[in-house]
Structure 1
């Protein structure tokens, strides 16, 4: 059913209906952001990746043959855009001198101690955040191809 609705929205987009594209963006932006974040490890990069991916998808809708689902096509655009962003970041970092005192390169695990809270849900939130950071740290330690497989299969459910 979702596939039929996507197909209808894509056809409307091809006819110039910007509202239809806005619906597609609304339907997929969170999923695309989560995947881009898992690949890039940066919220800022993930947001830019998603924006670039949607721009690319809009420009190339005329080439989308609908042999696969729209979501699959959009995921592939997002993954490729995220991989390109990683390559750009690596190339940029290779050419930038940096100091160990520079906060951009400081140990990301060094943070101030937060005051204790009486709210028991804060502990749950902290544990969840730590678990997410641990998962992200492990993902960042994987080679790009392996990271992509794990994100798509275990996190995004493909």
Structure 2
């Protein structure tokens, strides 16, 4: 039986323990990243059910491949790469099948709240301002969901998840220049979509 794992242990040590068969260490890594992985996937695919399933698939794939993890990147980057690749493949497959799953109208309150914090100062907002901000957040979410998959991925990872360009390049397995150009195009497209709101 494996002993309890201290949640303050860093990822590298937890990964080593996982590779030695310590299921509690893997459980600790899953708990540490499950919300972040789910939220990134949700913002990329736009559907809560799909996001839940893809998150589970990402962790299953990580568990199955933990013995192949060599530590050339951080565990966090490696796990995000798995999640993002699964999500991009899922989105591309759905586009080919003509399936859309944008649920920006039904996005969760946590997504709205985090976008609202980016857009506004929360010091004693009045009810009219909160309503207006909610509507703006909904429009931003819809605009992000309407970006192509590659552009949406860089926007979510950079502007919502807060990753730097190098981390995004590692996660998406693309050149740094490609990250910058995709982000620039994505922001340009968002600016066009949101011109009315920004004015």
TM-score interval (norm. to shorter): 0.7 to 0.9
Contact 1:10 1:20 in 2 (8 A): yes
Shift of 1:93: 3.3
- TM, length-normalised to structure 2: 0.60
* Pairing of 1:32-51 with structure 2 (within 5 A): 32-51=37-56
- Whether 1:82 aligns to 2:87 is yes
Q: 1:143 aligns to what?
A: 148
Q: What is the CA deviation profile of residues 71-130 of structure 1, one whole-angstrom value per residue up to 9, with x for unaligned ones?
A: 000011000011111123223336xxxxxxxxx99x986xxxxxxxxxx99877755553
Runs of 4+ in 1 over 3 A off after TM superposition: 91-94, 120-132
Shift of 1:3: 10
* Pairing of 1:1-158 with structure 2 (within 5 A): 5-93=10-98, 129-158=134-163
Contact 2:15 2:26 in 1 (8 A): yes
Shift of 1:16: 0.9
Aligned counterparts of 1:130 and 1:24: Cα–Cα separation in 2: 36
> Structure 1 108/147 Cα, relative in aligned 2: closer, same or farther at 3 Å?
closer
Aligned counterparts of 1:122 and 1:11: Cα–Cα separation in 2: 51
Which stretches in structure 2 are left out of the alignment for 5+ residues?
A: 1-6, 106-124, 164-199
- Aligned pairs, number: 137
Shift of 1:58: 0.6
Aligned counterparts of 1:121 and 1:17: Cα–Cα separation in 2: 51
> Structure 1 24/93 Cα, relative in aligned 2: closer, same or farther at 3 Å?
same
Aligned counterparts of 2:150 and 2:42: Cα–Cα separation in 1: 15
Which stretches in structure 1 are left out of the alignment for 5+ residues?
A: 95-103, 110-119
Shift of 1:141: 1.2
Aligned counterparts of 1:68 and 1:11: Cα–Cα separation in 2: 14
Secondary structure of the 2:73 match is coil
Secondary structure of the 2:98 match is helix
